[in-house]
Chain A
């Protein structure tokens, strides 16, 4: 097991923040764009290209590209079994933003779900972020 320095941990936390925010913002923009498009279940790439020609869809895809780069950088530094639960806090962000900003109601079951995810994130945050050996690229 690797010992985690505070700089390593702080940089991971920064990456986690970028991963969560870019995922939430990208998906919200994309689903907004998709709602302006209508149904597409097609094997033809052209139908998808046509759907992309909307400003909200383009914005969503660009932000999701940032999510991809930051998520790959995070996976180079931390376990998948650490990254998965931690980045699930995006769900909490979506639910709370919808509630306090857009006035969407949150049922008792949804509050229970938010509490369960929060508890899971806190639990995994207390484990070391990386438990596998350093790869060949890490050897100076």
Chain B
């Protein structure tokens, strides 16, 4: 069962990262959601149905979600924590190089602190 747990942790981290990066790329192409009325949120959902980036991203997050359900049913939540902490750093790296976000020293410091903090929380 331990081998299965690590495979699930790998699937969760990989799919979570792919999902977040695809969703961000897709939502940036779609344009900013200005109003938070039910009507404008519904329009956002309709536009997503034609947006391959976000559809792929939601698919990846769904796989990650089912892997998490399986992991939670055979292991403690804290088992997934190191993978979560690592994916913060990985996603920030991809945000900088794939999504071309400006990740300066302050953001790197912030994400490192958060990853370190998440890692510490399991004790």
Residues of chain A having any CB pair with chain B under 8 Å: 1, 11, 14-15, 30-31, 34, 37-42, 48, 51, 64, 68-69, 71-73, 75-77, 79-85, 88, 91, 95, 107, 109-110, 112-121, 123-124, 126-127, 131-132, 134-138
The verdict on A116 contacting B114 (CB below 8 Å), with A77-B32, A109-B120 known, is yes
Give the distance in Å from the alpha carbon of A116 to the alpha carbon of B123 in the complex: 14
How close is A25's CB to chain B, nearest CB, in angstroms?
16
Give the distance in Å from the alpha carbon of A97 to the alpha carbon of B122 in the complex: 15
Q: Which of B20-66 contact A (CB under 8 A)?
A: 20-21, 23-24, 27-33, 36, 41, 44-45, 48, 54, 58, 61, 65-66
The verdict on A81 contacting B111 (CB below 8 Å), with A38-B73, A48-B66, A135-B29 known, is yes
Residues of chain B having any CB pair with chain A under 8 Å: 4, 8, 20-21, 23-24, 27-33, 36, 41, 44-45, 48, 54, 58, 61, 65-66, 69-70, 72-74, 77, 88, 91-92, 95-96, 99-104, 106-107, 109-114, 116-121, 123
Q: Are B101 and A80 in contact, CB atoms less than 8 angstroms apart? A: yes
Residue of A51, A69, A73, A132 touching B69 (CB-CB under 8 A): A51
Give the distance in Å from the alpha carbon of A123 to the alpha carbon of B115 in the complex: 14
Q: Are B110 and A120 in contact, CB atoms less than 8 angstroms apart? A: yes
What would 15 A/B residue contacts be, using CB atoms closer than 8 Å? A68-B58, A72-B27, A73-B33, A77-B33, A81-B111, A88-B114, A114-B117, A114-B121, A117-B114, A121-B110, A121-B114, A124-B111, A126-B106, A132-B99, A138-B32
